[in-house]
Amino acid sequence: MVYDKKMFSKRIYADYASTTPASKEVIYAMHGASKLGNPSAIYEEGVEAMTVLETARALCARAVESRLEEIYFTSGGTESNNLAIAGVIEARRAEGVSYEKIHIVTTPIEHSSVLECVREYEKRGVRVSFADVNKEGIVSVDSIKKNINADTVLVSVMYANNEIGTVQPIHEIGEMIREMKKEKGSYPFFHTDACQAPLFLSLHRENLRADIMSLDGHKIYGPRGVGILFVKSGVKITPILFGGGQEKGLRSTTENISGIAGMAAALSAAAAGRERYSLRMKLLRELFILEVEKRFPEALLNGSREKRLPNNANFSFPWITDAEFAVLYLDAKGIACSTKSSCLKGEERSYIVSALEPGNKWRSKSTLRFTFGVKNTRRDIIKIVETLEKMKETLLKSSALAKNE
């Protein structure tokens, strides 16, 4: 993939889990598609747009090894997750089942677009169970199994965590659910939020055993405002938007043709470059983790050391009492990172890190997430660690002065 040389110049961008810059190939694909008409129109410009739309669908289907009719385009990961959850619940409701007779199993470390959606349905009477997560941020397959009951319609587990980078045993969960279905019938369906996964992990739907899968363009060097929901044939799901009946009636609205073209280009590039990109990111991540552990032995790595995304390093530093201030300090020094998911505004601590060690009062308030990408180098890693050392010295001096006063 080719990128603008001026991108992030003079600064170190280390927040690729939050968003990635669109590659030149993606921008080129979007530019060409932006000149097309409405794909619902029957005249020439509309037919051309429909051709681009279906070509993009074919490319995306190939990337996840699915059928064309199983790919639906959305506005992004949040909509895909909401459509997956609400769509399954409302499909069950359409069969005459009350909210109180509907049950969902998920985990306490899901993305907010999953958790807030299930909490909304809890208010309406839907029962929700949260599976156990160990101290490394790995979901217990046995706990999921124990929580499934006769009313369970959906199990939703993130493929790779956006904050701490842990990779979940999706295949094992999917296989377990598939075996249970042989006795229970068509339910429960298995949904995975895979928005963080495509650059590093296989999306082969048969290997994952997922019935429904969410993807997001701007996490994979694609455009913002476009995503995918994979829905396996036979899964009962109803729309949450109504209008023109686009996307085979599941997602009404005029299709974002330029965004969809960019999404297809990004997803195809992710699949083609996955092995090489993953190796390079793992080398940077390991260098960073080793340097942090050497210079800050008091720091805690959040999430599994081995079962994590190749580009993710999330640490808690006990001398950080205000993580947002730390982010701003690093920003002033030319380094962009985050303290938790960018989708969480106004939250004092990370609920994901809190789930790893509930009794630790400082750990979830002192987190910094560094996620590396295409523009990062070994020199960047050393610069970040050296800046962290200076920040520690500054914070400890400030704390000492405050105590003396």
Closest CA to 333 of 286, 394, 268, 272: 394
Q: List residues with catalytic annotation.
A: 343
Task: Name, in order, each residue with C-beta under 8 angstroms of 351's C-beta and a sequence gap of 6 or more.
Answer: 108, 109, 344, 364
Contact 345, 334 (CB under 8 A): no
Long-range contacts of 112-116 (CB under 8 A, 24+ apart): 112/341, 112/343, 112/344, 113/77, 113/78, 113/81, 113/82, 113/193, 113/343, 114/81, 114/85, 114/156, 114/158, 114/193
Report helix, strand or coil for 311. Answer: coil
Altogether, the residues listed in the chain come to a count of: 405
Closest CA to 156 of 166, 170, 143: 170
What are the φ/ψ torsions at residue 279 (nearest 5 degrees)? Answer: -65, -45
Q: 10 Å Cβ neighbour count for 182? A: 7
Give the span between the Cα atoms of 9 and 334, in whole angstroms: 10
198: preceding bond cis by omega (within 30 degrees): no
Give the span between the Cα atoms of 345 and 116, in whole angstroms: 13
